[in-house]
Amino acid sequence: MKKILSGLLVGSILFGGAVSIHAAEVDGTGSASITVNGSLGQDNTDEQAPNIQEGSEDWINVTLDTANIFYTTKESDHKTITSPHYEIKNNSGRAVKVSVANFQVESGNLSNVEELKISGKDYTGTDQAIDLNMLGTGEFLVLANNQGKLDVENDPTGGLASDTLYSYSGTTAGDYYKKKAEHTTHTLTLAFEALGKNGQPVAP
C-alpha cells in the first residue's frame, strides 16, 4: 500500500513574479475585453512557488510504502534477516530530510535479534542505515527535490536522487530461530523535514 503525505493548503493567493502586460488603447468604443488568469492554492511541487514559507510543513509531499515485512532466511539457518525493498519518493519542490522518529514493538519481542537495520541511499547515492534494535531513532537520509536538486538556486542541472529504496537487514542470536518460529509486529514512524531553498535546515 502506498500513502501520499502532502502539505497542500488550498486558498486564494496573489501569484507574484514577472507579468506580461498587454496594453490596448480604447478609442471610439464603449467596452474592452481583458484576459484574466488566476492562480489558486499553493503548489508544493513547484520549486519556485512564491507563497509557501521556507521550512514549512506545507512543502512536505512524499510517497511511501506503509506496509513492510522482514524475515529470516532458511539458507542461513534463520540467522540472517532480510526483506523486500520499499520506496520513499520526494514529490516536493524542496529537499526533504527523513528521520526515524520511533520504532515500537507492538507484539512479540526482539530479545533474540542481535541487529535489525533499516538501510537506504541518500541523495548522493551514499548508503545510510539505522539499527532499529539498538538506537531506534535518528536522522536516516536526505532526498533531493523532485527536480533532483538539493540547492534550488545553485544546482541548476539536478541529477541528485529524489527517491530511494530501503530495506531491512540484520542477524539473530545463535541457533534460536532454527528450532523456533515467532511473529512480531512493529510500528515504524518516519518524520519528514522540508529543507530550505538552499538545501539546509531552516532555523525556527
Judge whether 156 lies within some domain. yes
Judge whether 20 lies within some domain. no
Judge whether 15 lies within some domain. no
> Distance between CA atoms of 171 and 80, rounded to whole angstroms?
5
Question: How many Cβ atoms are within 10 Å of 72's Cβ, its own excluded?
Answer: 20
DSSP structural state of residue 193:
E
Judge whether 23 lies within some domain. no
Q: Per-residue pLDDT for the chain (204 aa), expressed as one digit of tens each?
A: 555 554 433 333 334 444 445 677 877 778 888 888 776 678 999 998 888 999 999 999 999 999 999 999 999 999 999 999 999 999 999 999 999 999 999 999 999 999 999 999 999 999 999 999 987 789 999 999 999 999 999 988 899 999 999 999 999 998 999 889 999 999 999 999 999 999 999 987
CB 80, CB 73: distance < 8 Å: yes
Question: How many Cβ atoms are within 10 Å of 194's Cβ, its own excluded?
Answer: 27
Buried b (16+ CB within 10 A) or exposed e, 107-144: eeebeebebbbbbbbbbeeeebebbbbeebeeebbbbb
Judge whether 199 lies within some domain. no
Domain count, the chain: 1
Helix, coil or strand: residue 146: coil
Lookup: cell for 71: 524475515
Q: Is 168 exposed, middle or buried (0-12, 13-18, 19+ CB in 10 A)?
A: buried
User: In which domain, by residue range, is 105 found?
Assistant: 2-7+53-194
Give Rg (Cα) of the chain: 24
Judge whether 121 lies within some domain. yes
CATH of the domain at 113: 2.60.120
Judge whether 167 lies within some domain. yes
pTM, entire model: 0.81
- Identify which of 85, 70, 64 has the alpha carbon closest to the alpha carbon of residue 133: 70
Judge whether 150 lies within some domain. yes
